[in-house]
Structures are given as structure tokens and as C-alpha cells.
């Protein structure tokens, strides 16, 4: 079992490494994509400087906590788009019958399928996240918790995309719904929880698991409590399990389109 | 001109077939308005409070209008398409046809933008009335002025994004420039009116594209005056001329650098 996991991780690592090497062929584009993404994210600091000049706290968050929230949202987004980029294209992969390539390989179909390419600009998101945690307060504890929460968040975001995209096995095109849910999560995750009132908060801890990807991690890093950490880890494992279950169940209904293509 | 109107019409008709996809995409618009509604309700502790000359309702209507303009634009898609056309060499198919690529991009993209603009405007006004219960005081002339200003803002925006896309002639991927432009418009132009910025930044913002593509139409909608209308339209027309010239210049220079391998 452990050897199998080790082998899978090794193959996944190599797949990501080759995908990255492909993207690095044009060095200028590679570097400019990363730098511009960092600048792009940094623009939002202006928004918060202005908002905090109008009011001392926004949604119960201090300015530093908002910086942390943005850093975490960016890091989470970066992890999901860099390592699991193809989870956001899964619906098209299923609909166009492009899964054949992965079915003939002796490794897990889902993992191979969602890690076969990388989004270079997502490295900018990851670096921006690390800059933000440095501004918030760089300690070993903060950094480790930040990275752990970001990885968990990235896995949850990718899992949600897999769950919704896998519905394509039964219902055809579901990418519009998957894109909408992803954009919903990104938009909400960048605003303090305290500005929202009423039933919407129930959504944050259920259908849109912003509790796992954004709000509880902020509380965890600001004020460590073991229960928060357990909540994040169990929530992440739950979403990953559901993603595998739904995908594997759907895979039984998959039919090839006899599409001829080569995976380089 | 007739051929461009035909391109506009055919693009509009094509997109009418995909209205459902457009409507599903409007969920994002509703969410953004919902977020800003909550944000401004939190910032304005009292609904009658006036911050930098704006009441809470005016601020929310301002965001409704700027988001209509931005969301109906679909700038990312336009920039990506132009970048891909240039990088893949597909632009050669357009060069050989009896139209100019800049005008083709403008009118073709206006087709989808017009449809989205109409649908999002209906949605935005309904959301505004639902959440705020009142409509800004506007005369018929005012409404026409706002529509004209919105149309000019959209055309200028498309021309700016086309220019950014055409930069792909000189560097491989111009998309990162679009990210920066879009954030500039979103952060500086969509969320706050120029009055919210520090004094020293306000004159700079007034001469930037933000004033013509975002602030101008929204300001007219929430705080209309004939003088303001005239001022904004004049600046928009000047901007239209400048952006049109720059887009054509970049295209002309870029086409000379084009090198396509046949296949």
C-alpha cells in the first residue's frame, strides 16, 4: 500500500516537473507571467487601504488579518491551479472523450488526469501568498500553518471542481456550474466573514466550504486552537474522498470517442 | 461601415442562441453585488451617512453600474482571442479579408457585449430596486446621456483591450498586461468613485482610462447634471480618438513583424 502511494507520488511529481519544463521553454513569458500575477494581486491592497481609511475594522478583521486572508486566498488558488490545473478542465476532458490517454496508464486515472499540466501564473499566486504571510508576521509556526492550510484549501478547491465536473459523466456539460462555483468561492474568500449576515453563513460551512479554505484557517493562524486544525484536516479528507468516489462512480459510465491524440 | 454592422449583427444573432450560458454566468454578477452590498452596509453604519459626497444607496448604485460595464465587456476573452490569433497565426485569415482587423474585433465583440449589457442592466436594476427600494433621480435626457456614455465607455474599453492583445505581435503573451489593466479598472474604477482616493491621486485618476470607462457613466447615473454629461462625453470622445489611433498604429507596426509558417 505504502509503496503504491510512494510510486504514485513519484509519477505525479515527475508529471508536474515535465509540465513545468514545457512551460519554461520561453523564459521571458514564464517570468513575466509570474511577476505580473504578483503585481495583479498586489493591486487589491489599494482597495483595503482605502476601506480601512474609512473604518477602523472591516467585518471584525484588522488590516493585517485582511492581508492574511488575501495571502491565503491567493496561495490556495495558486496551489489548486498549479498542481491540479486540469481539474478545472475535467468536464471538457470527459465530454470530448480525452480520458482514454489516462485509462491505459498503470496509475490512478484521476490523479494522472488532473496533474498533467501546470498554470505558470499560479506560481505568482503562491509567491504572493508567501509575501503576505511575511507581512502578517513571519514565524515558523505561522509559516507552517499557512502552508498546511493553503495545501488543504487547494485540495478542497480542486476536489470541488472534480466533484462538479464529474457530473459530466451523467449530465454532459457542467463546466459552467463548476466555473461559477469556483468563482463564487474565490470572490467570497477574499472578504471578511463578518460583513455577511444571516443564512449565507450556513453556505460558507457547507456547500461552499469557505470555512475550510479561508475563515477557519485565519482564526487558526491568528489564535491557534487544535479543534480548528482538526476541522480543516477532516474537512479536506472528506472532500478528497467524495471527489474520488464521484469520479470513480462516473468513470464506469464513460464511453470513449475514439479521439486520437498524443500526450507529450 | 455596412460590413462591420453585418459582423456586429451576425455576432449578436449567434450569441442569442447561447442566452442560457450567459444567464448562468450572471450568478457571478449577483454575487459581486451581494458582496458589495454587504461591504458598504458594514462601512456605512447609518444609511443616511454621507461619505466623500456619496450616500450608501449612491455607492451601491455606483457599483451596480460599474459592474454592469465590466461584466458585460468580457475583456479577458477578447484579449485571449486576439493573443491566440496572433500567436497561432490565425490572424492571417483576417488580414486577407476586406476589412480591418481592429474594426473587425471591435464590432464582432460589440455583438456579444451588447447582448450581455442589456441582460445585465435589467438584472442590475432589478437587484438595485430589490435591495435599495429606490432609483436615482434621472430625467429622460439623463437616461439617454448615461446610455450614450456607457456605449462610449464600452467602445473605448474594447479598443484598449484590443491594443493590449495586439502587443502579442511584439512579445509572445500579452495576457499579463490585461491582468494588470483589469485590476486597475476593478480596484480603482469599479469599487470606489475617484473622490475616495487621496487628493494627490485624484487628478491622475481623472486623466486615466478609469475616468472614461468606469467612473464617468456611473457618476452620471448616481449624480446627474448636464454640465457633468457634457464634460464626460467630451473626454470620452477624445479618448475614443486616441485609443482608435493607438490600436491602428500597433496593428500596422505589428503586421509588418508577422511571420507565419504555412501548414
Q: Which residue of A has its CA nearest to B172?
A: A29
How much is the average pLDDT of B234-241?
Answer: 96
* Tens-place pLDDT, residues B79-116: 999 998 888 888 888 888 888 899 999 999 999 899 99
Q: Which residue from A33, A47, A196 is facing B38, i.e. has the nearest CB?
A: A196
Pick from B173, B187, B197: CB nearest A29: B173
State the nearest Cα–Cα gap between B226 and chain A, in angstroms: 30
Q: pLDDT tens, B65-86?
A: 999 999 998 888 899 999 988 8
- Residues of A whose CB is below 8 A from B188: 43, 46
Q: Are A158 and A76 in contact (CB under 8 A)?
A: no
Q: How confident is the model at residue A125 (pLDDT cuts 50, 70, 90)?
A: very high
- Say whether B173 and A55 touch across the interface (CB within 8 A): no
- Touching check for A177 and chain B: CB below 8 Å? yes
**Taking CA atoms, what residue in A is nearest to B30?**
A184
| Alpha helices, H only, chain B | 2-16, 19-43, 56-73, 75-88, 91-95, 101-132, 140-166, 175-183, 202-207, 209-210, 216-222, 226-257
Mean pLDDT taken over chain A: 88
**H-helix or E-strand containing A200?**
helix A200-204
Find all residues with CB under 8 Å of B145, minimum gap 6, and list them.
B220, B224, B229, B233
Specify which residues B51 forms β-bridges with: B54
Mean pLDDT score, B16-28: 75
Mean pLDDT of chain B: 89
**C-alpha torsion sign, points A81, A91, B67, B26:** negative
| Closest chain B residue to the Cα of A52, Cα to Cα | B43
Find the chain B residues whose C-beta atoms sit closer than 8 A to any C-beta of A: 21, 24-25, 27-28, 31-32, 34-35, 38-39, 41-43, 51, 171-173, 175-177, 179-180, 183-184, 186-188, 191-192, 196-197
| Bridge partners (DSSP) listed for residue A59 | none
Which pLDDT score, from 0 to 100, does residue B229 have?
Answer: 94
Contact B176 A50 (CB under 8 A): no
Chain B nearest CA to A11, separation (Å): 30
CA nearest to A159, candidates A102, A82, A238, A96: A238
Going by C-alpha positions, the residue among B220, B215, B206, B213 that lies closest to residue B236 is: B213
Picking from A36, A39, A195, the nearest residue to B39 by CB comes out as A195
Answer whether residue A258 shows pLDDT above 70. Answer: no
Contacts 24+ apart (CB under 8 A), B15-19: B15/B111, B15/B112, B15/B115, B16/B115, B19/B115, B19/B119
Least confident of A171-185, B27-41, B236-250: A171-185
How far is the alpha carbon of A43 from chain B, nearest alpha carbon, in Å?
Answer: 6
Q: CA of B46, closest CA in chain A: separation in Å?
A: 13
Say what the pLDDT of residue B212 is.
94
**Mean pLDDT value across residues B49-66:** 93
Task: Output the pLDDT for position A78.
Answer: 95
Taking 70 as the threshold, does the pLDDT of residue A226 lie above it?
A: yes
Domain boundaries, chain B: 2-257
- pLDDT score recorded for residue A264: 54
CA-to-CA separations, A67 to A70, A136, A137, in angstroms, rounded: 5, 7, 11
Cell of A87: 481539474
Residue A58, strand partner residues: A61
Nearest to A59 among B42, B177, B180 (CB): B42
The pLDDT value given to residue A1: 66
Q: Which of A55, A183, A197 sits opposite B43 (nearest CB)?
A: A55
For chain B, say whether A244 makes contact (Cβ under 8 Å).
no
pLDDT tens-digit readout, B164-204: 999 988 887 888 889 889 888 888 788 889 998 888 888 88
A30 and B CB contact within 8 Å: no
Distance CA A64, CA A68 (A): 6
A24 touches chain B (CB under 8 A): no
The closest CB to that of B191, out of A40, A47, A196, belongs to A47
CB A78 within 8 A of CB A122: yes
What ipTM did this prediction achieve?
Answer: 0.82
Chain B residues touching A29 at Cβ < 8 A: 171-173
- A32 in contact with B at a CB cutoff of 8 Å? yes
Residue of A181, A163, A178 lying closest to A243 (CA atoms): A163
Question: Which pLDDT belongs to residue A262?
Answer: 59
pLDDT, greater one: A196 or B260:
A196
Nearest chain B residue (CA) to A31: B176
Q: Do A184 and B43 touch (CB under 8 A)?
A: no
Helix H or strand E segment including B262 = none
Q: Any CB–CB contact under 8 A between A176 and chain B?
A: yes
Q: Which of A50, A196, A200 sits opposite B196 (nearest CB)?
A: A50
Record: contact B173-A36, CB cut-off 8 A: no
Contact A176 B31 (CB under 8 A): no
pLDDT for res A261: 63
Which residues on chain B are in Cβ contact (under 8 Å) with A35? 176
SS3 A61: strand
How does residue A161 score in pLDDT terms, banded at 50, 70 and 90? Answer: very high
Closest chain B residue to A55, measured at CA: B43
- Partner residue facing A36 (CB), from B24, B31, B176: B176
Amino acid at each position: 500500500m505504502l509503496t503504491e502511494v510512494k510510486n504514485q507520488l513519484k509519477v505525479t511529481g515527475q508529471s508536474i516537473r515535465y509540465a513545468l519544463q514545457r512551460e519554461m521553454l520561453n523564459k521571458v513569458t514564464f517570468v513575466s507571467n509570474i511577476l505580473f500575477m504578483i503585481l495583479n494581486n498586489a493591486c487589491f491592497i489599494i482597495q483595503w487601504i482605502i476601506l480601512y481609511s474609512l473604518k477602523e475594522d472591516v467585518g471584525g478583521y484588522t488590516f493585517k488579518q485582511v492581508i492574511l486572508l488575501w495571502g491565503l486566498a491567493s496561495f490556495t488558488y495558486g496551489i489548486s491551479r498549479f498542481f491540479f490545473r486540469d481539474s478545472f478542465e475535467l468536464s471538457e476532458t470527459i465530454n470530448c472523450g480525452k480520458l482514454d490517454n489516462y485509462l491505459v496508464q498503470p496509475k490512478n486515472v484521476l490523479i494522472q488526469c488532473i496533474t498533467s499540466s501546470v498554470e505558470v501564473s499560479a506560481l505568482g499566486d503562491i509567491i504572493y501568498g508567501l509575501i503576505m504571510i511575511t507581512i502578517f508576521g513571519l514565524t515558523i509556526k505561522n509559516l507552517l500553518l499557512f502552508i498546511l492550510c493553503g495545501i488543504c484549501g487547494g485540495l478542497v478547491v480542486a476536489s470541488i471542481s472534480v466533484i462538479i465536473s464529474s457530473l459530466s459523466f451523467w449530465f454532459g456539460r457542467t463546466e459552467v456550474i463548476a466555473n461559477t462555483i469556483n468563482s463564487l468561492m474565490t470572490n467570497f474568500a477574499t472578504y471578511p466573514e463578518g460583513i455577511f449576515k444571516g443564512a449565507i453563513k450556513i453556505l460558507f460551512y457547507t456547500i461552499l466550504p469557505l470555512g475550510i479554505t479561508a475563515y477557519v484557517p485565519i482564526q487558526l493562524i491568528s489564535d491557534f486552537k487544535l479543534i480548528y486544525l482538526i476541522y480543516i484536516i477532516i474537512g479536506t479528507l472528506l472532500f478528497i474522498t467524495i471527489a474520488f468516489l464521484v469520479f470513480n462512480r462516473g468513470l464506469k459510465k464513460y464511453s470513449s470517442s475514439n479521439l486520437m491524440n498524443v500526450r507529450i | 461601415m455596412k460590413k462591420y454592422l453585418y459582423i456586429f449583427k451576425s455576432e449578436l444573432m449567434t450569441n442569442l442562441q447561447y442566452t442560457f450560458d450567459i444567464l448562468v454566468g450572471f450568478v457571478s454578477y449577483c454575487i459581486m453585488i451581494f458582496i458589495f452590498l454587504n461591504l458598504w452596509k458594514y462601512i456605512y453604519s447609518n444609511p443616511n451617512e454621507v461619505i466623500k459626497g456619496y450616500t450608501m444607496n449612491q455607492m451601491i448604485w455606483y457599483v451596480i453600474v460599474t459592474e454592469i460595464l465590466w461584466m458585460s465587456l468580457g475583456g479577458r476573452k477578447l484579449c485571449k482571442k486576439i493573443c491566440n490569433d496572433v500567436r497561432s497565426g490565425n490572424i492571417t485569415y483576417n488580414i486577407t479579408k476586406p476589412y480591418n482587423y481592429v474594426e473587425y474585433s471591435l464590432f464582432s465583440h460589440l455583438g456579444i457585449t451588447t447582448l450581455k449589457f442589456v441582460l445585465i442592466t435589467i438584472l442590475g436594476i432589478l437587484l438595485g430596486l430589490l435591495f435599495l427600494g429606490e432609483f436615482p433621480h434621472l430625467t429622460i435626457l439623463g437616461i439617454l446621456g448615461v446610455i450614450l456614455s456607457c456605449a462610449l465607455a464600452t467602445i473605448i474599453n474594447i479598443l484598449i483591450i484590443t491594443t493590449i492583445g495586439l502587443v502579442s505581435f511584439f512579445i509572445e503573451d500579452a495576457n499579463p498586461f490585461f491582468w494588470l489593466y483589469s485590476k486597475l479598472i476593478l480596484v480603482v474604477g469599479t469599487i470606489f468613485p475617484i473622490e475616495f482616493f487621496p487628493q494627490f491621486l485624484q487628478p491622475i485618476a481623472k486623466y486615466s482610462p478609469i475616468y472614461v470607462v468606469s467612473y464617468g457613466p456611473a457618476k452620471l447615473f448616481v449624480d446627474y447634471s448636464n454640465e457633468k454629461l457634457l464634460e464626460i462625453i467630451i473626454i470620452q470622445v477624445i479618448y475614443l480618438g486616441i485609443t482608435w489611433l493607438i490600436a491602428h498604429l500597433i496593428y500596422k507596426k505589428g503586421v509588418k513583424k508577422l511571420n507565419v509558417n504555412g501548414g
